[in-house]
Amino acid sequence: MAKKAEQRRKQILKAAFQAATEKGYESVTLQDIADYADVSKGVTNYYFKNKSDVFTQLFEWITTRIYEKEAASISEQETAIGKLEAYIDRVFISPEENKNFYRVYLDFLSQVKNNVSYKEINQKFYENCWSIGREIIHQGLEEEIFEVDDVEQTAISIRCMIDGSLIQWLMRDDDQLHDYYRTACYESILKILKYKK
């Protein structure tokens, strides 16, 4: 029974995600979600406390998923450079694949200031991101190819660079620029790490 409920919950979250990608966070209605999930309107209220509850859980799901994919990508690599490359490639995954994820994530970001839960979820996401940065830095220090004096600050800066590049890429929304921003981001991070090849 709990299995069925969990399945329904996921189904509704996916519908909410799809609705959000196509209509934008704020303008999504409970009816939209129900339509995308192919159920009637009441179901959403049966499985979720209210609309806000749906979106809170969706935000958590999205940030967790982004992190897990990133973490999985770097763990497949042995070297610092390999990890960093895998990381950036995952962030700038081919147009359309993860683009929607980051678009909806940006939607949520703009809501963080109005919602304490969102802020906490995002804080957790940041901490996950920083841990990825630390892992890459430590590996690079071990290999003696990076020169970093403040590991924590550098890990934070890496994510700043990634988010900044990602957003600028998303905003310009030109598939031609995909490679450009991925490369620019990657090379900037190498400089921040004072990479000596």
Partner DNA sequence: CAATTTATTTTGACCAGTCAGTATAAAAGA
Partner DNA sequence: TCTTTTATACTGACTGGTCAAAATAAATTG
Residues that bind a copy of itself (CB under 8 A): 24-27, 103, 106-107, 109-114, 119, 122-123, 126, 153, 156-157, 159-165, 167-168, 170-173, 180, 184-185, 187-188, 191-192, 194
- The rounded distance, in Å, linking the Cα atoms of 154 and 3 is 43
Which 3 state secondary structure label does DSSP give 194? coil
Q: How many CA atoms lie within 13 A of 93 on its CB side?
A: 15
Q: Using CB distances below 5 to 8 A depending on partner kind, what does residue 163 bind out of DNA, a copy of itself, none?
A: a copy of itself
Q: Which is nearer to DNA, 4 or 113 (CB)?
A: 4
- The answer to whether 40 contacts DNA (rule: CB under 7 A) is yes
Q: Which stretch binds DNA (CB under 7 A): 34-42, 57-65, 136-144, 160-168?
A: 34-42
- The answer to whether 24 contacts DNA (rule: CB under 7 A) is no
- Asked if residue 69 lies in contact with residue 87, where contact means CB atoms within 8 angstroms, the answer is no
- The answer to whether 113 contacts DNA (rule: CB under 7 A) is no
DSSP character string of 30-93: HHHHHHHHTS-HHHHHHHSSSHHHHHHHHHHHHHHHHHHHHHHHHHT--SHHHHHHHHHHHHT-
- The answer to whether 100 contacts DNA (rule: CB under 7 A) is no
In angstroms, what is the minimal distance from the CB of 54 to DNA? 8
- The rounded distance, in Å, linking the Cα atoms of 92 and 175 is 11
Q: Using CB distances below 5 to 8 A depending on partner kind, what does residue 148 bind out of DNA, a copy of itself, none?
A: none
Q: Which is nearer to DNA, 4 or 197 (CB)?
A: 4
Residue 124: both structure tokens together: 């957790």
Binding site for DNA (CB under 7 A): 1, 4-5, 8, 27-31, 39-43, 45-47, 50-52
